[in-house]
């Protein structure tokens, strides 16, 4: 029986049982088509914007804030919003619901409407593949692509909200992009979706596993130098993220302390520059274990990461001049299944 087959069975068991999902109450609210229909038309969006600018507001103040000619016509549009986005208070003035505030923020930030392109921005950081200072960020339709102009390595494609592009010029966009995505990765890693706060499933997998048409045989694949990555998927909204396992470990206390002890601050490394000193490989498939290691000044920090992304053990090893071979402790660790 292979590790892959057992995973399939586990997935089937979960979908048949579903005891946990049944205990979560279904939310109230409008069907999506009714909700989006209620927002249709400029008058209704004007009402949402007007309440966001000043809240709460009276019927007459809102009527004056729109271009409607008659109060009857205005009242009709306001009624369409009061099922989901606007509510009337006991003092008869109007305020936004939580969904209404979310729509108001999206309107202001251009979340659903703005498409941003930017000229290439040169970055100050080394390419993690060739070491040259030749990284360039280009923005096309709200997605920043970071490439190396020297070795042509495509590094990352990072979505960034349109409102973020509007707020940050070329000088501080890279820092904002890095901060935004570090928080996203950290939130995914905490099991909470950064977009909808839903439950996130985390899987550390060999890169070949998901891309292969048939499950690979661990006996043939072996355990040496199989690249790995972390896959986060939100069970509620479907948001997902695939990234090197190392990027999910940057705020682990052992990593922060290791960099600090070598007089480096891991927070100052933007996510597109983390990589050259890191290695990742699958060292055991049953139980699943990925060894993620980083080397600074002749010392290794080795982190043993389980299938669900948790660090089950870590250690420091003085490697001196030995830069290639797996140590005896590594091998015994693998054979014992890395269960700390
Ligand atoms: Zn390069
Ligand atoms: Zn989500």
Burial of 230 (0-12, 13-18, 19+ CB in 10 A): buried
Q: How far apart are CA 274 and CA 268, in angstroms?
A: 10
In the CATH hierarchy, which fold is given to the domain comprising 114-171? N-terminal domain of TfIIb (2.20.25)
Q: Is pLDDT at 14 greater than 60 in this prediction?
A: no
Would you state the structure tokens that stand for residue 159, as one six-digit string? 């979505």
CA distances (Å), 146 to each of 30, 94, 175, 250, in order?
A: 40, 46, 13, 20
User: Which ligand does the CA of 236 lie closest to?
Assistant: 2
**Residue 150 CB contacts under 8 Å (≥ 6 apart), including other chains:** 127, 130, 132, 134
* Domain layout of the chain by residue ranges: 32-109, 114-171, 246-335
Q: What is the mean pLDDT of residues 161-181?
A: 93
Q: How far apart are CA 318 and CA 316, in angstroms?
A: 7
pLDDT tier at 30 (50, 70, 90 boundaries)?
Answer: confident
DSSP label at 245?
Answer: G
Q: Is 338 left (phi over 0), alpha (psi -120 to 50) or beta?
A: left
**Structural contact between residues 214 and 184, judged by C-beta atoms closer than 8 angstroms:** no
The pTM assigned to this predicted structure is 0.76
Residues 237-284 have pLDDT tens digits of 999 998 889 999 999 999 999 999 999 999 888 998 877 788 888 988
Residues 6+ apart with CB under 8 A from 254: 301, 303, 311, 314
Report the percentage of the chain scoring pLDDT > 90.
58
* pLDDT single digits (tens) 131-158: 889 999 999 999 999 999 998 877 888 8
Task: Look at residue 13 in the predicted model and tell me its pLDDT.
Answer: 39
What residues have CB less than 8 Å from 118, skipping those under 6 apart? 137, 138, 139, 144, 165, 170, 173
Q: Which ligand is nearest to the CA of 272?
A: 1
Which helix or strand (DSSP H or E) is residue 139 part of? strand 135-140
The answer to whether 177 touches 167, Cβ cutoff 8 Å, is no
- Mean per-residue pLDDT for 93-122? 93
**122 Cα–ligand 1 center, Å:** 13
Instruction: Compute the distance from residue 278 Cα to the ligand 1 centre, in Å.
Output: 16
CATH number of 32-109: 1.10.10.10
Give the Å distance between the CA of 198 and the centre of ligand 2.
5
Residue 241 Cα to ligand 2 midpoint, Å, equals: 11
Which ligand sits closest to the CA of 152? 1
The residue that leads in pLDDT, 21 or 260, is 260
- CA of 288 from ligand 2 middle (Å) equals 26
């Amino acid at each position: 029986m292979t590790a892959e087959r057992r995973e399939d069975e586990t997935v089937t068991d979960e979908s048949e049982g579903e005891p946990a999902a049944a205990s979560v109450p279904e939310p109230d609210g409008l069907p999506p088509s009714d909700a989006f229909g209620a927002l249709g038309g400029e008058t209704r969006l004007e009402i949402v914007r007007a309440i966001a600018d000043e809240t709460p507001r009276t019927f007459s103040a809102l009527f004056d804030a729109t271009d409607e000619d008659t109060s009857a016509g205005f009242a009709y549009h306001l009624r369409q919003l009061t099922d989901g986005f606007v509510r009337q208070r006991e003092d008869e003035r109007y305020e936004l619901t939580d969904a209404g505030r979310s729509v108001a923020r999206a309107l202001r930030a251009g979340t659903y409407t703005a498409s941003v392109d930017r000229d290439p921005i040169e970055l100050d950081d080394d390419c993690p593949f060739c070491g040259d200072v030749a990284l360039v960020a280009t923005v096309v339709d709200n997605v920043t692509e970071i490439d190396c102009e020297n070795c042509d390595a495509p590094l990352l494609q990072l979505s960034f909200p349109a409102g973020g592009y509007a707020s940050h010029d070329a000088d501080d966009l890279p820092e904002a992009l890095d901060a935004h995505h570090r928080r996203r990765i950290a939130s995914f890693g905490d099991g909470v979706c950064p977009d909808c706060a839903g439950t996130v499933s985390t899987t550390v997998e060999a890169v070949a596993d998901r891309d292969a048409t048939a499950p690979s045989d661990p006996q043939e694949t072996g355990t040496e130098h199989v690249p790995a990555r972390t896959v986060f998927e939100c069970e509620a909204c479907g948001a997902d993220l695939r990234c090197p396992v190392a990027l999910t470990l940057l705020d682990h206390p052992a990593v922060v302390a290791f960099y600090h002890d070598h007089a480096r601050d891991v927070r100052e490394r933007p996510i597109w520059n983390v990589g050259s000193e890191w290695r990742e490989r699958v060292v055991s498939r049953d139980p699943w274990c990925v060894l993620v290691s980083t080397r600074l000044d002749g010392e290794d920090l080795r982190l043993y990461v389980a299938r669900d992304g948790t660090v089950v053990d870590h250690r420091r090893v003085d490697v001196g001049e030995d830069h290639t071979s797996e140590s005896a402790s590594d091998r015994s660790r693998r054979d014992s299944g890395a269960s700390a």
